[in-house]
Amino acid sequence: MPFTKHSKTTLAAESSAKKTLPEKPVIENKAKNIDGRSLAIHLKEDLVKRINVLEREHNIRPGLAIIRVGDDQASQVYVASKKRQCKEVGIRSFEHVLPGTIEPEGLLDLMQSINEDPEIHGLIVQLPLPKKFNSPEIIQTISPQKDVDGLHPLNLGKLFCDIKGGFVPCTPKGCIKLIHSVQKDLKGLKAVVIGTSNLVGKPLAHLLLKEGVTVSLLNAKTKDPKSLCSQADIVVAAAGVPYLVQGDWVKKGAIVIDVGINRLVDGQGKPYLVGDVDYDAVSKKAKAITPVPGGVGPMTVACLLENTVIAAENFYSS
Ligand code: NAD
């Protein structure tokens, strides 16, 4: 029988083929990947313009001093990245490396001289410091006007008291920009922030409160974090616990920001980075999610550069 499109046999074959076709694969709802690298590039492009204005109109080139104490490997990598990115946008950076054996007085003397140096607009002390240092005490000797990490009690106090003009810590500032890249108006939303450090959790909770968000701040002793998370429109994980936030912790359509940076080692002994969120599982439920690496990290550095530019802008206007 000649093959015709509409022959009975062909139709029969088609219909039986239909029956045997495998079921359509279920298309999983994949979250938007919030690309921290590209948002950071946009922010840095804007900073280049502001730095050009500072140079052209005020003859000021922003300067950032970075103090590193001891030989913490991760700190070396972070500081190298900060210096490279300073150079990219036109900020002068000065790294001061002190041996881990130095006494606190030696560190404080260096900080004092940087506080008084008019060429330097921002000063950061790379954390963590070796155990013998009392980090909060060291941080509060940074001049608040140069505290571009935003960790001095005066700057944190300004943030918590809604007083303008202080420096906002870089990671929370970056997290808010990442959330805004998905949704501008956050009023009335519920957020869960996991982790209560001065560096991330507490200032971020306050920034979210200022946006009209109802915030729950979770710590290591919180009972049933899963049920609290599963009610949240925004989940921010900043606990330093790999894969803490699982797929069934997150409500469908939530925005998930993964601040965690955890170094693990694979079967071959090769190190790799993971966040606090099980990305694969959570991205099937969330509306948008940040990857690790490539999410919060680049925005943290971009916000450090932004704070340094603000410090330089404040310098000429003061
Ligand atoms: P931290 O150790 O100072 O604070 C951790 C917080 O998490 C504490 O409040 C603790 O109570 C809470 N916590 C610990 N285990 C918990 C659990 N099982 N459930 C709920 N809460 C828990 O840490 P940090 O300095 O705030 O940093 C947190 C994480 O974020 C770390 O992985 C750090 O490396 C990372 N980090 C990333 C960036 C970035 O730019 N991406 C910046 C800063 C910190």
- pLDDT score, position 17: 45
Catalytic residue, chosen from 146, 147, 149, 202, is: 149
Whether the Cβ atoms of residue 101 and residue 130 lie closer than 8 Å to each other: no
Is 149 marked active-site?
yes
- pLDDT score, position 318: 74
Determine the length of the chain.
Answer: 318
Q: CA angle, 178 as apex, 206 and 251 as ends, to 5°? A: 80
| Coil vs helix vs strand at 205 | helix
CA–CA dist 215, 229 (Å, integer): 11
CA–CA dist 207, 231 (Å, integer): 20
- For 210, residues 6+ apart whose C-beta sits below 8 A from its C-beta are 162
Q: CA angle, 128 as apex, 122 and 134 as ends, to 5°? A: 90
Is 185 marked active-site?
no
Summarize pLDDT for 256-279 with one digit per residue, the tens.
999 999 999 999 999 999 999 999
User: What token pair was written down for 302?
Assistant: 């971009």
Q: In the 8-state DSSP scheme, what is residue 35? A: -
- pLDDT score, position 20: 59
Could you say which residues of the chain have pLDDT below 70?
A: 1-29
Pocket (CB within 6 angstroms of ligand 1): 171, 194-197, 199-201, 218-220, 222, 225, 238-241, 244, 259-262, 296-297, 300
- For 231, residues 6+ apart whose C-beta sits below 8 A from its C-beta are 190, 192, 251
pTM score of the predicted model: 0.91
- pLDDT score, position 4: 40
Is 82 marked active-site?
yes
Summarize pLDDT for 30-61 with one digit per residue, the tens.
899 999 999 999 999 999 999 999 999 999 99
- pLDDT score, position 14: 42
Delineate the domains of the chain, giving CATH numbers in brackets: 60-151 (3.40.50.10860), 169-298 (3.40.50.720)
Atom of ligand 1 nearest to the CA of 262: 32
> Bridge-partner residues for 192, per DSSP?
216, 235
